[in-house]
Structure 1
Amino acid sequence: MRGLFIAIFLFTCSFIPTHGQTDLSSCQAIRKGDTLILGNSLIQRTYLFQNGNLSSFALQDKRTGKKWVLANKNADFALPAKVGNPANGSFTVKPVAETSRTPAHLEAQVVVSLGDVWVKRVFRIYPNCPAIACDYYLKGRAPDWQQQVQQAYDLRNLESLATQKEGEANAVVLDRLALPGLHWRGKSVEFFDATDQNNTLVQEYTRLAYRQEVRLRGNLLFLDEVGTDTGIFWLKEAPVSGVQLAYPGFDFSLKFNEMRAAGIGIGPTDLRDDEWVRGYSLVLGVWLGGETGQLTALRSYQQNLRIRQPNRDEMILLNTWGDRGQDKNINEAFVLRELKLGEKLGITHFQLDDGWQQGKSANSAFQGGSFKDIWRKPNYWLPDPKKFPTGFSRIMEAGKKRGITLSTWFNPSVDSSFKYWDRDAQVMIDQYRHYGIRMWKIDGVRIADKQAEINFRKMLDTVMASTNGEAVFNLDVTAGRRFGYHYFYEYGNLFLENRYTDWGNYYPHFTLRNLWMLARYVPPQRLQIEFLNKWRNQDRYPQGDSFSPAHYPFDYLFAITMPAQPLAWMEARNLPPEAFAITGLINAYKKQWRAWHNGQLFPIGNEPSGTSWTGFQSISENQSVGYVLVFREQNKAGAAKMKLMNLLPGTYQFTHLMGQGKSFRMAVAADGAVSFALPQQMTFGFYQYERVK
């Protein structure tokens, strides 16, 4: 009777709307006896509770009724060490109210002890979302487990079940699915940051399940049952594979009747007796309808990770570091002039990069700079009085008059795994309180161990709490061991890449390609994408190089950034007068950016190569309306067909809003193919579409 009482109590709690905001009545977290059910109107997962040591036995896509009965013989979660029998299992559930960053959702917590190791799983269930997320925590003490992975070439012939098991990796298992049937195909997606070194940021791997374990790297795994139009996905919310902590060498494994997600980001020496240590998170979702179904299901989940507030999160940001002036030019007079020109250009935010502070960084153009022992210099993070005699007061006032929000660059002290995280947080809190600054570019981060990750998160959370959730962190992913594209998601946006005409490594089609490839799996609205002063450093590019930035119209360079958060990576004072002709385009973009970015944005057309027809589509909840941005690179064809996503068959009006091209009307068949025409190479067109019959 006690188990039944708990089930009824928790079921009742799951139906409580939070403060009149989002109705959570579709979200379920129910325990009845030894059965645990989690889900909402779109997905349901059923477990054996087993004293908190969960084992899945069913997964259902409630849209179609498709149900996979799972034959798990082992618990879903496992450590690569001998631990005790499960005990002290507990289950609690609570509705979580909407905040300025995260939507209302249901949280179900399952705790179990495995000998001296305690495991906590916190499930996040969002309404109308085809996925359930799980955050993992550990505490206590554990044997010094060793994750082992053998290569296929080192194994013997498979003549018995014993030799077959020799090839299985011994690693922390976050989740497992004993899926029925043998014909499963997996596509993993690996991501790469450290963009100072990398210029291909997405790599896909496709494998079939086999009797031997097939291991894959990546933050994403899509599973499809061959011959059907339905499937499952896992999203591992962690840094990119190459820099994950306690990494076992792979993220997912496929095998007949068992799929596994591996790697929690915690080693045995990271555990604490009296404090939960947060590991990586894992999201399980269901999809329907081919690749489009995969992508829209994933994006539906991602949209719940951070509420997009246009007044806080939309921006056209000017950062002068892109002209390689470094800290040589920055001072009050320089900033005031840039604000004046920025207003003329149409920017909304201005970022003071490295050089505003009294301390001299390792990136300084002058000798003697360092990031070491920052906190031995008490005035390091105060405005340089020689450059800013009134602090930031005058430039803040000027920015306010011009409708421009100011932001600063900040490099937390990396000493001893961010040991001084609280002092770092206080720098930003003081700027918020004294000047109203609420956005910071966070640079120079090295997450080398678990303590560094813990302290870095504490810094961000402290600033968030002190700013009432108004803070926006512009997280730099250009170098070092950092956060990737699926971790620390809730804190702001990503500064994606350093590209400079000074170094001859800014090519517009490279930038477009990186954005296009990431946008399939990462909301591009979260990325900051650069456009540069194309008139500078033309001699740094090979003569006759038709892909060099000087050959592109300036409005085309800005249009590349429109699916994302545009970054004017330049000193505005170095622009020629003709550059300011794009002000009309920027103003037109501002009129559309809310609706354009409110949709699910995906790439369309061919991968950018410099000679492709390519673009992006914004899909709204109402399938009858949306937006399309089309690019004709250096392609000889004056028109091209592109398949759009989620278009119902019918007649559509495409209204031209920006760039080149014309409005048109056409009948669209079930394949979603639409023909676009642009008059010249290196032009773009931006359209709003509507189904008219």
Structure 2
Amino acid sequence: MHSNSRLLMFIIFFLSLPFFLKAEDNHCIIQRQSDSVFILKNARVTLKGPEIIASTGKIARAWKLTGQGLQTISLQDLRKKREFAVSNPKAVCDWDLPGAINDTSTAEWLKTTVSEDDDEGFSNRHLQIISEFRYPYAKLMLQYVVWVYPDAVGMRTQIRVKAMPGFDPVNIKDDEGIENRFGNNMATPGPRCDYLPLNFKAENQRRYWGYYNNPGGRHDPSRLMLEEKIVTGYPLFLTEDNDWASGISVEYNQGSEGVCVVKESPKCVNQKAHYTGSFYSSPIGLSVTGWGLSAKEILPERYRECWATWIILWDGGNDGMQLALKKFDRARYPVFPDRDMFLLSNTWGPANPDGAQFTDENYLMKEIPALANVGVELMQIDDGWQKGGRFSDAKGFTPKYKNGWKDLKAKADEYKLRFGLWATAQYVTTEELRKNVDELGFVSWKMDFDHLKDRKDYEDRTQKYRDVMKYAPMKTQFTLCPEYDDPRYGWYYFKEYGSIYFQNIQEGLPEHLTMVPYQVLMQHWLMSKYFNSNKLQVLLQNPKRSNGDRSDAPLHSHSYCFAMGLPFVPCFFQSAQYLDSAGTRELKDFIALYKRYRKSMFTAYTFPIGHQPDNESWSGFQMVSEEGLKDNYLLLFREINNQEAMRKVKLKFLAGKMIKVSNLKTGQIFIRKVGNAGLCEFSIKHPADFLLLKYEVIAN
């Protein structure tokens, strides 16, 4: 039968189904056009015959039901009335599974449901669309899931899959492949999880980016955390493949607008993790591969989730792309200041190199009042507090102390200090996590030494973290550690549970971890480009105790080094007992100042500005509030080898505007006109000093 005739018969069958609306568990099965519109604030989902149209109020994506599944037929920026999808898409289904599902496979549509959901409180509220299909020849059941957030600049898609009786995984291709063509090794796609019929014939460029795993191994200036590559040239005649990036931005009109696609997976530049796939830009559009599970992991008793994909529309050049990405990231991973905003210490900070000595009860009893004195709010006890084992073999997570937590908890309560604890992600049990939260009242967990080798590992961690957080809402959260080159979490995944732990920074041992201020600032600056800073816990070391033979840290002030962490989740990775009196006063005063403005910094969007830190430049961060008019901040560093007391810095989103600027350290207030190119002049008298400024827009 001709494919068009088959499609016509399928549509007639679809429209002739019994028409009814069934409400179950806060969701509705959609089968009647008069009842096919679902609204959540400005988000809207419409089922119109064989089409699904999803709108956030700012962007819209439409799919057509085909005999093979769902096919994207439109991708629109509603604000600019810009259509990014080409007509007549070449792929008849947005997904495939080589060896089982392809463009000729028969898909039996079963139902489409729409519900209001928030992922058990781990995401913002959204409309969830689930379209369910049966593939009779492949013996597979498949759900295509779309999350539509009101007023978001993007959408999230995900495949879930389940085996039917008789399913055979033997001939299914799980991963990307290599094919030798006339002596050249060419990449061949693995399972496709999303497809966008983008126009690669029009003028465009492709920007790929990703962050590295094992940040503790990337301290020297040659090992940047961010990998970014811009590929120019159009039309595309051959397929352009990329297997290291977490994101691609397809940029049109000289880079002023485009489509950003992100893998919600543990993919890192140097760690592909579990079947995280690739991007394929080709004459027929953009394919995203990587289901995140092997065919042998497809179960008959329940659906298993694949890696999700974000599709984000943006304008305003690369600055606008960064903002759009961060806004959608925050829709997916909400900000909970009451749960996640705190200034913590970690007892491993003064390690040389073993920090277990600082888990001794006598030391902790002295550290509690010293931390409270400088303004630290949470003391996290690292490896050594538990009764069983050390490092990656640690088990038995009950306190080793004579009276358990009783004496330490009483001391901490006296000084209004909360607790954090270290644990091995693989071995700590849900019961142990709950028990410690019960006894301490609040625990921020540092989860270490994980190794996520298969889909079961990811599901086990997800279940563990969710169970504990639902058991003690707002009384616990997790900081996930990506140290070492093992498959762990990546940078766009698992952030609903807290934040991601960044680089270990030490005083002098191990040698490669010695704190060098400009190298720390450099990596923080790079991380803030495509990552929301309030989801990154950064470690701030004592510059006066750093080894002066391997670092110029002793030439910097305490407040300069602490300020490098202000846009993030700052971790006081040092001992308050080891501060001298001058250092204590300096940090106490500066932390008190920081706390006055912390919440609006924490909820702002942070961007890198100035020059990439290299120890002789002006560099820093711009923190932009949701509205962008008030409660914005500038944090500018004049590095130690810089010779310029005045410098014009290019600011974001402020070209041609008048701003009122307050120096938070001195109280000085001044007015600045930002140039049409976004440049604004500032003054820092001395090297190795910084400005902390607040600004508001007062006129264009």
TM-score, structure 2 length as denominator?
A: 0.87
Which amino acid letter does the alignment assign opposite residue 456 of structure 1?
Answer: R
Partner Cα separation in structure 2 for residue 495 and residue 223 of structure 1: 30
Aligned-residue offset at 1:213 = 0.8
Aligned-residue offset at 1:205 = 1.5
Aligned-residue offset at 1:632 = 0.6
CA contact (8 A) 1:623 1:647 kept: no
Q: Structure 1 residues 590, 176: closer, same or farther in 2, change over 3 A?
A: same
Aligned-residue offset at 1:143 = 4.0
CA contact (8 A) 2:452 2:458 kept: yes
SS of 1:358's equivalent in the other structure is: strand
1:247 is aligned to 275
1:427 and 2:454 correspond: no
1:667 and 2:673 correspond: yes
1:522 is aligned to 531
Q: 1:172 aligns with which of 156, 170, 191?
A: 191
Q: 1:197 aligns with which of 204, 217, 233?
A: 217
Aligned-residue offset at 1:449 = 1.6
Partner Cα separation in structure 1 for residue 275 and residue 255 of structure 2: 33
Aligned-residue offset at 1:52 = 7.3
Q: 1:117 aligns with which of 133, 140, 163?
A: 140
1:510 is aligned to 519
Aligned-residue offset at 1:484 = 1.3
2:98 is aligned to 80
Aligned-residue offset at 1:101 = 4.2
1:46-86 Cα shifts (integer Å, max 9, x gaps): 11122671111111000000113433222111112134521
Partner Cα separation in structure 2 for residue 648 and residue 688 of structure 1: 17
1:574 is aligned to 578
Which amino acid letter does the alignment assign opposite residue 113 of structure 2?
Answer: T
Aligned-residue offset at 1:256 = 2.1
2:340 is aligned to 313
Q: 1:474 aligns with which of 479, 491, 514?
A: 479
SS of 2:188's equivalent in the other structure is: coil
CA contact (8 A) 1:493 1:527 kept: yes
CA contact (8 A) 1:52 1:91 kept: no
Partner Cα separation in structure 2 for residue 362 and residue 564 of structure 1: 27
Aligned-residue offset at 1:226 = 4.2
Aligned-residue offset at 1:237 = 0.6
Q: 1:332 aligns with which of 329, 344, 361?
A: 361
Q: Counterparts in 2 of 1:10-29, with a 5 A limit? A: 14-15=38-39, 24-29=40-45
Aligned-residue offset at 1:273 = 0.8
Q: Structure 1 residues 499, 144: closer, same or farther in 2, change over 3 A?
A: farther
Partner Cα separation in structure 2 for residue 287 and residue 261 of structure 1: 19
TM-score, structure 1 length as denominator?
A: 0.88
1:279 and 2:306 correspond: yes
Aligned-residue offset at 1:688 = 0.9
CA contact (8 A) 1:11 1:29 kept: no
SS of 2:399's equivalent in the other structure is: coil
Aligned-residue offset at 1:149 = 3.3
1:288 is aligned to 315
Aligned-residue offset at 1:195 = 1.6
1:65 is aligned to 81
SS of 2:251's equivalent in the other structure is: strand
CA contact (8 A) 1:229 1:288 kept: yes
2:181 is aligned to 155
1:496 is aligned to 502
Q: Structure 1 residues 362, 525: closer, same or farther in 2, change over 3 A?
A: closer
1:599 is aligned to 604
1:325-368 Cα shifts (integer Å, max 9, x gaps): 521232322212111000111101110111111112137xxxxx
Q: 1:136 aligns with which of 159, 163, 166?
A: 159
1:345 is aligned to 374
Greater Cα shift, 139-148 or 601-610: 139-148
1:16-72 Cα shifts (integer Å, max 9, x gaps): xxxxxxxx2321222221111112211111111226711111110000001134332
1:180-230 Cα shifts (integer Å, max 9, x gaps): 351331111021121222342110122245211111121111001244632
Partner Cα separation in structure 1 for residue 154 and residue 362 of structure 2: 51
Q: Structure 1 residues 521, 181: closer, same or farther in 2, change over 3 A?
A: closer
SS of 1:336's equivalent in the other structure is: helix
Which amino acid letter does the alignment assign opposite residue 405 of structure 1?
Answer: R
1:404 is aligned to 417
CA contact (8 A) 1:76 1:173 kept: yes
SS of 2:664's equivalent in the other structure is: strand
Q: Structure 1 residues 551, 169: closer, same or farther in 2, change over 3 A?
A: same
1:233 and 2:251 correspond: no
Q: Structure 1 residues 344, 268: closer, same or farther in 2, change over 3 A?
A: same
Q: 1:441 aligns with which of 439, 443, 446?
A: 446
Partner Cα separation in structure 2 for residue 51 and residue 399 of structure 1: 64
1:623 is aligned to 628
1:105 and 2:135 correspond: no
Q: Structure 1 residues 99, 247: closer, same or farther in 2, change over 3 A?
A: closer
Q: Structure 1 residues 357, 69: closer, same or farther in 2, change over 3 A?
A: closer
1:20 is aligned to none
